[in-house]
Structure 1
């Protein structure tokens, strides 16, 4: 019996040690300004940034002064950083086109990867990344700001509980006044406005949010068809890419409308879900509303201001650590999951094709994420 008690204590102790052990993480690129997020998250104590791969020394030095990391942590290439620091995981903060190269370098070494949204620049890159992740048994996650919104999870829970009946229409709106008007730094603009590096304009930058949320709420169901219309309303600011996009996803029992814009005077990331008996609203990260229909146009409304989600479900890098260390097992079509984001890439590729041809694009009915 003593050996059993000892074994149980050993398991508990090792589990506690794993939970408190910092995740050694490398940063691949600094040109995506979402990179400030990981430097701030490091202060939580869950992760340790052991190396940074960035060829632009001026940019690395500027961020070194802002965030306090030593320039000795900066390496001229990803290969050099991985070899020198041997991280457990890597986060990609370069161009979307570079995501594949990050996985190609990290996966054979058994290093887990998290990329900023979307997963890849196109389905061809995504399929290569998928195969590398499966072959080398690594986690490959995609980070969206909206994944950590308590309001979105309240919507999901309400739908699952049947509080408004089956979902019939989902409207997702994501946008701002445009990267040039926001004064985004030049290193980010250089590739954000380049279709060869970013894959498009607003249709990719903000369209991916709605595709991700729809796939999550529809539990991995692939839409029957995708229809998209784009426009260029600021040609001087965005000469090579669209800055306005509307994407319609058609399912047998529902419809999804994704509105993506670089032309809205007020930034927003929100959604509304229409069921048979009511409507759910995620107005922002913390505000959730539920309206239950009464009569023709009346309703009873519940309005909640939600707390942040519990640790580690409130932060991408704490979550990444928990997944890698086995404290969390993501469901198949969770917002960060590879399976979800393979479907997102199918939707984005179809949306770009539809916008270019003016035709509705039908998708295969198989639910395999790589088909």
Structure 2
């Protein structure tokens, strides 16, 4: 009996030590992003532990410290200071989008993996620099989108690949809300979210990236042949320096995508419609999916699916990040998190901005 108890203790101790060895030390770069609560409120798990934060705005850091309970002792002024003191294995960027490049520049040479909030960068030029650093130093650079967690999107792609609605012809993706100021984002977030340099644009980048990301996934990494975009500024009093409404049209050999990113939707939304030669799939929200199959001219059958959240690790972006770094998960090149996908996203966004500014259709090199 004593030997049995000792064996159990040894086994448990070994498992505990192994778990500690596999626990990633995570640094957080910036606290101004409205999504930073995702990591600050994350329940303690064995895959990852937050060990440092970079935020020069101490008033903001103090405020969030009181709200989420982290110690101000782990808050640093610069990336170099944090890296030197706590030696993270990975960093999650939660500052402005322009800062993504400087975060990767600080991390890549030291072999530190990075996950950024969408989109990957503000410009294609910055994205190309990030890609070059990632390849040179052999680090993972992931981009996080809320829609990556939607089981409905996964189910929709599965139905499409199974031929349920026939050959794909058109995709319509709508994303957005009433606008940053109207929904009450923090002043720190609003300051850069409506800055054309720090955010890369307005709604065209903030929400246009979702559709570009999903469409690149659907097309298995294939680039569109052309990109055409128009933008408007419907709330000049709230968004004086950037667009707040856009329509982006992507054409492929046999398919077309219409992306409708906007800060003027009366109701917040992130939905997708897939139209094929036999029917349509409606990904209404994270949990509801509808499939319509054509019958005659205008009749159809419709089936509704109510789905649960995605299974681990896909229900949590930080679990995905940890699994990729630990080698437990290998992403396909066109996966929504993958750098290859998000380089195509940046080509699309850059072309969309250029199209809206010049009033012309942009041809992409394939």
What TM-score does the superposition give when structure 2 sets the normalisation length?
Answer: 0.94
> Is the 8 Å Cα contact of residues 174 and 211 (structure 2) preserved in structure 1?
yes
Q: 1:96-129: CA deviations, max 9, x gaps?
A: 0000000000000000000000001101000110
2:93 matched to 1:92? yes
Q: Which runs of 5+ in 2 are unaligned?
A: 1-13
Correspondence for 2:131 = 130
* Residue of structure 2 equivalent to 1:301: 302
Instruction: Report 1:62-211 matches (<5 A).
Output: 62-211=63-212
Give the 3-state SS of the residue equivalent to 2:297 in structure 1: coil
1:313-339, Cα deviation, whole Å (9 max, x unpaired) = 111001100000011000010000000
How far apart are residue 341 of structure 1 and its match?
0.1
Within-5 A mapping of 1:1-371? 17=18, 21-365=22-366
Equivalent position of 2:4 in the other structure: none
2: CA distance, partners of 1:208 / 1:100: 17
Q: Given that residues 18 and 325 in structure 1 are in contact (C-alpha distance below 8 angstroms), is that contact kept between their aligned partners in structure 2?
A: no
CA spacing shift, 1:215–1:336, aligned 2, 3 Å = same
| Matched residue SS, 1:168 | strand
Q: How many residues align?
A: 354
Cα RMSD (Å):
1.6
- The answer (yes or no) to whether the contact 2:19–2:46 under 8 Å persists in 1 is no
* Gap change, CA 1:281 and 1:17, over 3 Å in 2: farther
| 1:81 CA displacement | 0.6
- Corresponding residue for residue 369 of structure 1: none
Deviation at 1:18, TM superposition (A): 5.7
Separation in structure 2 between the aligned mates of residue 337 and residue 318 of structure 1, nearest angstrom: 15
**Deviation for aligned residue 1:19:** 9.5
Deviations 1:277-336 (A, max 9, x none): 010111001111111111111111110110111111111001100000011000010000
Tell me, in whole angstroms, the C-alpha distance in 1 between the residues paired with 2:281 and 2:87: 45
Equivalent residues of 1:312, 1:318 under 8 A apart: yes
Q: Distance in 2 between matches of 1:43 and 1:353?
A: 44
* C-alpha distance in 1 between matches for 2:21 and 2:276: 43
8 Å CA contact 1:41–1:317 kept in 2: the answer is no
- 1:214-248 CA distances to partner (integer Å, 9 max, x unpaired)? 00000001000000000000000000000000000
Residues 170-228 of structure 1 show CA distances to partners (whole Å, capped at 9, x for unaligned) of 00000100001111111001100110100000000000000000000000010000000
Describe the superposition over 1:260-282 as per-residue Cα deviations: whole angstroms up to 9, x where unpaired: 11011100000000011010111
